[in-house]
Chains A and B, each alone.
Chain A
Amino acid sequence: MSEVPEPTHRRRSHAGTRDLERYAGLFAERTTVMRSSAMRDLMAITARPEVISLAGGLPDTSTFPPQSFAAQMTRIAQESAAEALQYGPTEGFEETKDCILEVMGAEGMLPDPDDIIVTTGGQQAIDLVCKTLVDPGDVVICEAPTYPGAVPVFCSYQADVVQVECDEDGMRVEVLEQLLADLRREGRKLKFIYSVPSFQNPAGVTMSLQRRHQLVELARANELLVIEDNPYGLLRYEGEPMPPLYQLDGGDFVIYLGTFSKILSPGIRLGWAVAPPPVMEKIVLGKQAADLCTSTLTQYFVREYFAERRWQQYVDNLVEIYRGRRDTMIEALRMHFPAEATWTEPEGGLFIWATLPDYIDTGDLLAKALRADVAFVPGQAAYVDGRGRHSMRLNFSGVSDDEIREGVRRIGKVIAEQVELYEALTGEQRVAEPAEESAPNVVPFRKAGGEAG
């Protein structure tokens, strides 16, 4: 037998990691705002198999038929192996853009294909937009609460992030207007307003039509860019579809971000951005520098998949499943959360935002919840300024009905223990609020006063 060296799986020996100071001198300024905290360590425990995690944001990919996946990939291998394994254009393939046009068309949008760039997931689209527009110290406005994954992107470009409160009709545009006036007076440079107008992550709320019009007009009047991030628009479980900001504006002052992650698969890492030509030109240069092009292989996969003309049927199927899970979660919240708790009842998307009595810190509650083998995202993750301490984000798309019921029951139990303890500490007796007739124990998104979360 020939001597084959044992495969080694040893960790690279970090000669010199000991000397943090030596590297510290080399780190870019922007790394100092990339934070690590005890709370992040806590989140690491949510990966334990026995934990029911309502903390994720995962679509349910188990609903995608494996035979269909196999057939499409086989076809690619047989008919276009060499091309699918090759680099592609930085902007993305025309065929991928055709698929994007179909998806955007389903929500009433008709962009020029030349205004589209295919990106490595929607997350890269956020990154490229920031790379193109943000200088250190520039102001970026987003919702309060906002998509937790956007905060590190804004911070890594050293933006000064300012948040505008939401209520059940989305971002409060009148507050935004006031803020714009304040910023102007202070002479600060605003670059864009980031919004997830439909079924917002994390709050689950949808911006009303009136506010959409107001926001678009405000952008126009002030020649400001709005970044519309719309990953969930097609996942509507009830109510009338709402026109995207992009459609209302016609694409002059709205940069649109889309993704295949929630309607097909996040694993293929395919998203896109639509921007006016001068902005797009810069975004393309940024994309070239970042990764040359988006995966050719997964673009071929999407092309094959859309050729079967069943993508809408698959989305309908997801809508069916997620609607049921949302209903299950709302029912479980009514059953297991205390009378003082409020939560949003989203018409679509993946998340419910629940707010507890203000003496409960959801960061600490997570430690207790983990002992009960259940996890959620503490609300603080959706704010840049420490607010949100009494709220939590709950995901219903990536977990089964049984897990939702059991997970919410477990969270309800740890909350009840905290409520009881607080009463023992203060001598206050909880007075059960009289239930409203239509929706007992449920209040929609808390009207944002001082602290929305």
Chain B
Amino acid sequence: MKVAVLKGGRSLERGVSLRSGARVEDALERLGHEVLPIDVGPDLVKRLVAERPEVAFVAMHGVGGEDGTVQELLEILGIPFTGPGAAACARCMDKVLAKDAIEETGLPTPDWFACNQTAFREFGAADALGHLEESLGFPLVVKPSRGGSALGVKFAAAPGEVPQALVSAFIYDERVLLERYVEGRELAVSILGDEPLPVVEAVPLTGDRYDFEARYEIGRTRFACPAELSAEEERAVTEAALATYRALGCTGFARIDLILAADGPWLLEANAIPGLTDTSLLPQAAEAAGLSFEQLVERILELALEPAAA
């Protein structure tokens, strides 16, 4: 089969995407497919039209590749593609939309407020900060609404730390959210098709547990897969993740991140195109389920080619 692998692009996560893409290309070749690697740029449509791949493997992360932009284009061109559709991607990418959808289903997600940069620049939203802080309490987490990995995610322990956290978060998006910090175990549930894979737990090893950037550095966090959970905890966590996956309209695969607190799971966000590098969580979860990387890639392709359920 002729498979286009879309990777790179101009997003801030270009580096991870190139690594995900390269790994997928290797696997596809070993599986005997004809691989068409595309570093996504202005000639994308021209190349897709000229080469007519049977299916596109989207290995892009961040704005442009994970937010529905490329997916919309592929839908227009009538090329089947891996991962969630354009609308689901847009919902996953935007944490505000995602949290809205999660809340509608009645699933628990930490209290939060969203704010646009314009509100601060033009409408004096700074005066509302005290009110927000009071209602959320400290510590709180400031996140760009749209953005991948841990870029721009900051922790504020006290009111004085909020403005500079916002200044950083606004670099990545016009809209940010302030979220109540929930103490608990950090879990990620990858879902393949409609099947939850074994749960991964991120266990910080050293230093400041609130340093979100450190969390993704090799050597500062240990990822345990499968996470040590009681049968009851595991059921609660996977059910919440699956319900979130469905509420967001995901198909193919996605990764749901959540906190397991003393009172149960709290849903944080969904990643429409989780990383596929050799240190990423989805491949680790698949491995724990007995799927090699090739088998994972093959399954993702099959799901892309299945007739749409909807």
A15–B170 Cα distance when bound, in Å, is: 42
Give the nearest-CB partner of A422 in chain B.
B167
- Given the complex, which residues of A lie within 8 Å of B12, measured CB to CB? 41-42, 45, 367, 370
- Given the complex, which residues of B lie within 8 Å of A359, measured CB to CB? 163-164, 167
A305–B93 Cα distance when bound, in Å, is: 58
A367 engages B126 (CB within 8 Å): no
A424–B124 Cα distance when bound, in Å, is: 7
A35–B217 Cα distance when bound, in Å, is: 6
A35 engages B26 (CB within 8 Å): no
- Given the complex, which residues of A lie within 8 Å of B26, measured CB to CB? 11, 13-14, 17
Instruction: For the complex, count residues of B whose C-beta is within 8 A of A.
Output: 48
A332–B220 Cα distance when bound, in Å, is: 39
The reply to whether the CB of B179 lies closer than 8 angstroms to some CB of chain A is no
B203-232, CB < 8 A from A: 208, 211, 213-214, 216-220
10 chain-A/chain-B pairs, Cβ below 8 angstroms = A21-B287, A32-B218, A34-B219, A35-B218, A38-B150, A361-B167, A367-B152, A368-B171, A418-B167, A425-B129
Taking Cβ atoms with an 8 Å cutoff, the residues of B that contact A are 12-16, 22-23, 25-27, 29-30, 117, 120-121, 126-127, 129, 149-152, 162-164, 166-168, 170-172, 208, 211, 213-214, 216-220, 278-279, 283-284, 287, 292-294
What is the CB-to-nearest-CB distance from A318 to chain B, in angstroms, rounded to a whole number?
33
Residue picked from B162, B168, B219, most chain A C-beta under 10 Å: B168
Interface string of A192-235 (1 = CB under 8 A from B): 00000000000000000000000000000000000000000000
Give the nearest-CB partner of B279 in chain A.
A20
Chain A binding site: helix, strand, loop or mixed by DSSP?
helix
B292 engages A18 (CB within 8 Å): yes
A32–B217 Cα distance when bound, in Å, is: 10
What is the count of residue pairs linking A and B with beta-carbon distances less than 8 angstroms? 112
**Interchain CB contact (< 8 A) of A13 among B30, B171, B213, B219:** B30
A425 engages B163 (CB within 8 Å): yes
The reply to whether the CB of A44 lies closer than 8 angstroms to some CB of chain B is yes
- Given the complex, which residues of B lie within 8 Å of A18, measured CB to CB? 27, 278, 283, 287, 292-294
A40 engages B15 (CB within 8 Å): yes
**Interchain CB contact (< 8 A) of A426 among B29, B163, B218, B220:** B163
A18–B172 Cα distance when bound, in Å, is: 32
The reply to whether the CB of A416 lies closer than 8 angstroms to some CB of chain B is no
| Contact-residue size bin, chain A (C-beta under 8 Å from the other chain) | 35 or more
- Given the complex, which residues of B lie within 8 Å of A426, measured CB to CB? 126, 163
- Given the complex, which residues of B lie within 8 Å of A420, measured CB to CB? 121
Residue picked from B22, B30, B171, B208, most chain A C-beta under 10 Å: B171
The reply to whether the CB of A329 lies closer than 8 angstroms to some CB of chain B is no
Beyond the given pairs A34-B219, A44-B14, A365-B171, 11 more chain A to chain B contacts, judged by CB atoms under 8 angstroms and listed by A's residue number, are A15-B30, A19-B287, A21-B287, A37-B213, A39-B213, A41-B13, A364-B171, A367-B151, A418-B167, A418-B171, A427-B126
What is the CB-to-nearest-CB distance from B4 to chain A, in angstroms, rounded to a whole number?
17
- Given the complex, which residues of A lie within 8 Å of B211, measured CB to CB? 386
- Given the complex, which residues of B lie within 8 Å of A13, measured CB to CB? 26, 29-30
With contacts A11-B26, A17-B278, A18-B283 taken as known, whether A41 is within 8 angstroms of B171 at the C-beta atoms is no
- Given the complex, which residues of A lie within 8 Å of B167, measured CB to CB? 359-361, 418, 421-422, 425
With contacts A41-B16, A42-B12, A418-B167 taken as known, whether A425 is within 8 angstroms of B120 at the C-beta atoms is yes
Residue picked from B15, B167, B217, B283, most chain A C-beta under 10 Å: B167
B15 engages A32 (CB within 8 Å): no
- Given the complex, which residues of A lie within 8 Å of B284, measured CB to CB? 20
B152 engages A422 (CB within 8 Å): no
A382-435, CB < 8 A from B: 386, 418, 420-422, 424-427
The reply to whether the CB of A86 lies closer than 8 angstroms to some CB of chain B is no
With contacts A18-B283, A19-B287, A35-B220 taken as known, whether A11 is within 8 angstroms of B25 at the C-beta atoms is yes
- Given the complex, which residues of B lie within 8 Å of A35, measured CB to CB? 217-220
